[in-house]
Amino acid sequence: MLLLVSLGLLALLFVAGGVNHFVNPKFYLSMMPDYLPAHAMLVQVSGVFEVLGGIGILVPATRYYAGLGLLALLVAVFPANLNMALHPDKFPGVPVWGLYVRLPLQAVLMAWVYWATRRG
C-alpha cells in the first residue's frame, strides 16, 4: 500500500511539475544558469520528460526505466536549483531559506524515486 501511495504521489508531483513548465515557463526560464544554451528548449524538454516519467512510473513494465530517467532528470536540473539559491534576488516571492532547502530536498526526492521504482 505504501508503494502504491508513493508511486501515485510521485506521478502527481512530476506530471504537475512537467505541465507547469508549459503553463508558467517564465519561472523556469528565470532558473536557468546563463552558461546553458537554448533555455526555452531545455525548459520544454525537461517538462516533457517530467510528464513522461511521472506517467511511466505508474506502468509496471516501464517503472524501472522511468525511474532511471527521472533520476537523470533530477541530476540534470540541479544546476538550475543551485542557480536559484545563488541568485535569490530573481525570486522575491520565495524565502531565501526555501531556495537552500530545495538543494538537499532534491537528494531526498532522488532517494524516493529510487526506492519507489525498484519495487513491484
pLDDT in tens, 5-62: 999 999 999 999 999 999 999 999 999 999 999 999 999 999 999 999 999 999 999 9
Instruction: Give the Cα separation of 92 and 97 in Å (integer).
Output: 12
Has this prediction a pTM greater than 0.95?
A: no
**516519467: which residue's cell?**
53
Tell me the pLDDT of the chain averaged across its residues: 95
Cell numbers linked to 12:
502527481
